[in-house]
Amino acid sequence: MQNRYDDYTTDLLARTAKPYATQQIEQAWFQDMYDGVDHTLALKIECLLKFKLDYNAGHYKDFSIELPGSATDYAMDARVPDPLILDGEISPQVLYINNLPPTLSRRAIEEHVQSTTKSVEHVSLSRPTLPDMYRICWLVLRGDANSTEIRAQLDGTVLNAEKAGAFSLKVAHYRKPALSSKPKVLWAQLKEDTLTTEHYAHVTSLLELFEPKFDGDGLWSQIQALDVDPRRRLDLSVEYLRAVHAFDYWDLKQYDSSLDLESHAPRYTRSQDDIPSDDKAFEDWQTIFQKKLRIILKPTEYLQALRVKSEQDLVAEIISSKVKAEDELRFRCQVRDCTKLFMDIPFVKKHIEKRHGDWVSQVTAEAQLFIRYLLDPHKVLPYREHHEPRARRQSSPGRRRRSPQGQRNGYNGPRGGRGDYRGPAMQNYRDLDRPAEELPELDY
């Protein structure tokens, strides 16, 4: 049954992802997320340098996420984080813009900010939230900048974008999120040595993907060489992923920056007792975790399971669709307004690649966007708003509402089992003196 359900969900995703991606591919949020460029790489390098300074200063010498007390004193569900309340201390060098429309691109924001002030060093954007696909923006200021003055310069300014139109910025000081009073506790089963070794191997595989961005300047090799308890080394590696790469390992979710991560994902902790968690819930979490990990580490196998063609095959299919066969010896190009005729299909395709190179580049970029969208474990899926049916409340006989004549207890819809036929209308006393109308003969 589980295999049949997995096949169903895989087929459903393959059928719904392409229409949705085709619909959203022109939106700025879609292009910002799946253009394949790490827009906050410079900010992550700064986080790496800070982590390296703290590490060399001994701040992580006794690093531990163990919590005193019993696990029953804390929230036991590691899957759904508590909502974060932004009531922490003000971050002096970070400004905050809320509710950016999905048509407003990162480039438009950066150009507007740079034209207004030269004190903004980095721009970070959150993932869009359903149903309106709005995003949050963080502006990281230079160390010598006055955040109050920069906020006054940007607040209320109008950003004119080609697709978004005129948008007035509402800029505020960013407050670090205050974590919930009950921290999230990892599953007790994760204390087992076999699972500790397994997850450390997963972290190693993930860092092999991320570390090349830093050209070997990371601290990962030093962390690997630590002679400490395996569980403590795993926790420090997860913290390195979080602090430097803005990656939440236990949810396998990539964030734009550490600011985005700390605003949406709380830190996980371990309890000191050995009370096991719910086995069924842990198995469900582990199944979802393995599926997400497979998408990240084995993208080719995942695309093959979805029966999605490669980038080259997708582009070739689109090019072939622009070749129209007039007859056996005439084939016409249908790219945009082109109507040139050729004697064979290969000549048309060569013409398209040579004379319509900009169109081929656009098609290739869209194919890359679509594949990267599929390979996002936390991609936005088509949203359907569901309304709960109204419950009919039973009122007391004395307060029961009288229904107008001609309606059945306030219900004026079709009678059950009779289609749209509503039955004869109820007559009141005004209709009694009306002459009867002759019924026409119905010839069936």
Give the pLDDT band of residue 430 (cuts 50, 70, 90): very low
pLDDT of residue 403: 46
Q: Give the neighbor-by-neighbor strand order of the sheet with 66-67.
A: 66-67, 268-271, 184-185
Backbone angles phi, psi at 202, to 5 degrees: -65, -45
Q: Which residue has the higher pLDDT, 394 or 274?
A: 274
Give the pLDDT band of residue 381 (cuts 50, 70, 90): confident
Give the pLDDT band of residue 201 (cuts 50, 70, 90): very high
Average pLDDT of 114-123? Answer: 94
Among candidate residues 187, 345, 346, 338, the one with its CA nearest the CA of residue 273: 187
* Triad 60, 65, 66: Cα angle to 5°: 125
Helices (H), 228-327: 230-245, 258-264, 279-297, 299-305, 311-321
Give the pLDDT band of residue 182 (cuts 50, 70, 90): low
* Triad 387, 393, 398: Cα angle to 5°: 155
Residue 72 confidence (pLDDT) above 80: no
- Taking CA atoms, 199 is separated from 65, 69, 188, 194, in Å, by 16, 25, 14, 9
pLDDT digits (tens, 9 = 90+) for 313-364: 999 999 999 999 998 889 999 999 999 999 999 999 999 999 999 999 999 9
- Tokens 């569900």 identify what position? 77
The model's pTM is 0.78
pLDDT digits (tens, 9 = 90+) for 236-265: 999 999 999 999 999 999 999 999 998 888
Radius of gyration of the chain (CA): 30
Q: What percent of the chain has pLDDT over 70?
A: 74
Least confident of 165-174, 189-198, 274-283, 401-410: 401-410
Among candidate residues 179, 162, 204, the one with its CA nearest the CA of residue 268: 179
Among candidate residues 228, 159, 234, 233, the one with its CA nearest the CA of residue 202: 234
